[in-house]
Amino acid sequence: KTLFDEKTIYAELPPRFMKRLVLHRFEKTVHYVPFFRQASDECVVAICRKFHGYMAIPDENIVTRGETNKELIIMEHGEAEGQDGSGIVTEYSAGSFFGEMEFLGLQETSSITVRALTYCDIYGLKLAHIRTTMAEYPVRGLAESCQACCARAPPPCERPEG
């Protein structure tokens, strides 16, 4: 995604500066994922350092219905369109996320196909990559809040601006 290796840069920074940089860099991205809101700044920094970024080009499938997906996908920039098996179309843009049911282990395969409409900057996060982080920084009721959030989350195009 960039010419820079963010992980190497973060590792070479003084801890307090690295924390401020990561919190600033991912402030909006993390703000839109409701189950990270309860986490401490230290936990958020540790989780954000596990993000892996990539780009989707127009007409590329980001996620394909029926395929195994174990990632929480967070859109940082761009627009995408998701379609489920019944033909319902959902629009995704900066701040939208999807794949939470697979990320949480509540589904094995994706129930939607999400296709990039424009160039999209995306972050992926695998639960396996953050298990140690979650053990080190326990977030009280995280699993319950994730499930409750997913059950009542508004459609991505109706999320509040912040």
- Which H or E run includes 135? helix 127-136
| pTM (two decimals) | 0.74
Q: Is the pLDDT of residue 64 over 60?
A: yes
Rounded CA-CA distance 84/130 in Å is: 28
Instruction: Centre a 10 Å sphere on the Cβ of residue 32 and count the other Cβ atoms it contains.
Output: 19
pLDDT digits (tens, 9 = 90+) for 116-150: 999 999 999 887 777 777 777 766 555 554 555 45
Q: What is the mean pLDDT of the chain?
A: 79
Rounded CA-CA distance 91/95 in Å is: 12
pLDDT of 95 = 86
The count of C-alpha atoms lying within 13 angstroms of the C-alpha of 56, restricted to the half-sphere facing its C-beta, is 25
